[in-house]
Amino acid sequence: MTVFEATCTAPVNIAVVKYWGKRDTSLILPTNSSLSVTLSQDQLHSKTTIRASADFTSDRLWLNGIEESIEKNKRLVACLRETRALRAQIEEKDASLPKLASLKIHICSENNFPTAAGLASSASGYACLVYTLSQLFQLPLDASDLSIVARQGSGSACRSLFGGFVAWEMGEKADGSDSKAVQIAPETHWPDLQAMICVVSDEKKGTSSTEGMQLTVKTSALLQHRIKEVVPKRMEEMIAAIRNKDFPKFAELTMQDSNQFHAVCLDTYPPIFYMNDISRAIIRIITEYNKDGVKAAYTFDAGPNAVIYAPEKNMAEIYAVLSHFFPGATFDDSLGLLSKTSTLPPLPQNFDTRVSPVFAQGSVKQILHTKADNGPRVLDSAQHGLLNAEGLPKRLA
């Protein structure tokens, strides 16, 4: 019998205009639009294989080699229900199509980065799930259509269905049919833009973003002002900055929006903290680095890790500055930054190293160099599939 299987990877995205707050928690409809940059799957990705087979007696899911319950995960169930319903519709219209909608499936998904690193894995994970389902079921949907499904798995996942620069339009409709991702510009539009991810060690696990954002919606007096007055204008300015490849403007807006996101977290009652003293030191260091002109932009999501966006030409210097204050960080040099630069450049002439103490070894655990890149990729299951002949994971944890 023929095996129906698809294997895909999907990227991580890091917002430069942040998503924080839902107006509908079951459909995951946001209180404001947001905008992100899709990072290269060469460094960070989720990979998913999904097989449909008459031999399977139930739907099963393995995440990073551990079997998880599907039923308990309402959001996952929603994504399956929606894609199967769409498959059923096209099967009705065309009797020649194999009847996949009624078959049980096995889902096997892995991230190539440690969840422990605190890099948002739900975005790439749900984007990969929905994209792989659309491949398996051969759904006649474009990435924006799929983003509406992925959004119901994890809000920010909708932005990982596109490469490059992606806006999540909040929409207005109650059913969420207009709350979708659209591509502002492809990765090829601004190839010079790169990113450096600083994985910061932290004793204290912060509030989950799902709980955190609704507590902010409920208690922060400042959030409503951000939603109504600040973000709409900032979205327009950010889109213009990206279209014009105006890095200083892009950077300023990115840093201001990261600051404001953490400000409304602090205005929450009780307050929510995601940045720690190391995160704040990185902000001081980048602020000092930018004092004679904006050469880098920091942004922080719901955790202490920093993502620093900058033009390629500044990356070696930024790495040198970070290495000065954060010794002992392992460097993931996938882009060959150090091999290109025989020696690390010195700190900028007038850089005032007193802006921060030099931190203990491993305060920043890892620095990863990456860049803007494309959206989900389809792989050859025969070669790259995660399931064996029996439809079970090749690798278990």
Task: Please choose, from the candidates 377, 366, 386, the residue with its C-alpha nearest in 3D space to the C-alpha of residue 110.
Answer: 386
In terms of residues, how long is the chain?
Answer: 397
One of 1, 221, 382, 389 touching a second copy (CB under 8 A): 221
Of 21-29, 82-90, 259-267, 367-375: span binding a second copy (CB under 8 A): 259-267
Of 50-58, 238-246, 262-270, 311-319: span binding a second copy (CB under 8 A): 262-270
Strand bridging mode 330-332 / 364-371: parallel
One of 273, 327, 333, 347 touching a second copy (CB under 8 A): 273
One of 259, 334, 341, 374 touching a second copy (CB under 8 A): 259
Q: Does 356 bind a second copy (CB under 8 A)?
A: yes
Q: Report how far Cα 56 is from the mean position of its chain's Cα atoms.
A: 32
Q: Does 262 bind a second copy (CB under 8 A)?
A: yes
Q: Where on the phi/psi map is residue 175: left (φ > 0), alpha (ψ -120 to 50), or beta? A: alpha
One of 43, 147, 152, 260 touching a second copy (CB under 8 A): 260
| Shortest Cβ 233–a second copy spacing (Å) | 9
| Shortest Cβ 283–a second copy spacing (Å) | 6
One of 67, 237, 246, 267 touching a second copy (CB under 8 A): 267
C-beta of 148 vs 230, nearer to a second copy: 230
One of 95, 96, 208, 270 touching a second copy (CB under 8 A): 270
Q: Does 138 bind a second copy (CB under 8 A)?
A: no
Instruction: Give the count of residues interacting with a second copy (CB under 8 A).
Output: 31
| Beta carbons within 8 Å of 233's beta carbon, 6+ residues apart | none
Task: Please choose, from the candidates 23, 27, 16, the residue with its C-alpha nearest in 3D space to the C-alpha of residue 224.
Answer: 23
The H or E element that residue 168 is part of is: strand 165-169
C-beta separation of 297 from 307 below 8 A: no
Scan for tokens 């924080």, then name that residue. 20
185-214 positions binding a second copy, by CB under 8 A: 203-204
DSSP-derived letter for residue 301 is -
Q: Where on the phi/psi map is residue 125: left (φ > 0), alpha (ψ -120 to 50), or beta? A: alpha
Q: Does 215 bind a second copy (CB under 8 A)?
A: no
C-beta of 81 vs 225, nearer to a second copy: 225
One of 269, 378, 395, 396 touching a second copy (CB under 8 A): 269
- Tell me the per-residue interface mask from 284 to 323 with a second copy, x by CB under 8 A, - otherwise: x--x------------------------------------
Q: What separation in angstroms does the CA of 287 have from each of 134, 228, 242, 294?
A: 44, 28, 21, 9
Strand partners, 159: none
96-125 positions binding a second copy, by CB under 8 A: none
The H or E element that residue 365 is part of is: strand 364-371
C-beta of 273 vs 331, nearer to a second copy: 273
Cα 334–Cα 205–Cα 73 angle in degrees, nearest 5: 85
One of 179, 194, 209, 268 touching a second copy (CB under 8 A): 268
The phi, psi pair for 316, rounded to 5°, reads -65, -40
Strand partners, 297: 309
| Shortest Cβ 161–a second copy spacing (Å) | 31
Task: Please choose, from the candidates 2, 14, 9, the residue with its C-alpha nearest in 3D space to the C-alpha of residue 370.
Answer: 14
C-beta of 210 vs 219, nearer to a second copy: 219
C-beta separation of 159 from 34 below 8 A: yes
| Shortest Cβ 363–a second copy spacing (Å) | 12
Of 50-58, 84-92, 102-110, 218-226: span binding a second copy (CB under 8 A): 218-226
In angstroms, rounded to a whole number, what is the distance separating the alpha carbons of residues 257 and 177? 27
C-beta separation of 296 from 259 below 8 A: no
C-beta of 24 vs 229, nearer to a second copy: 229
Q: Does 283 bind a second copy (CB under 8 A)?
A: yes
Residues binding a second copy (CB under 8 A): 203-204, 221-222, 225-226, 229-230, 252, 255-256, 259-260, 262-264, 266-271, 273, 276-277, 280, 283-284, 287, 356-357
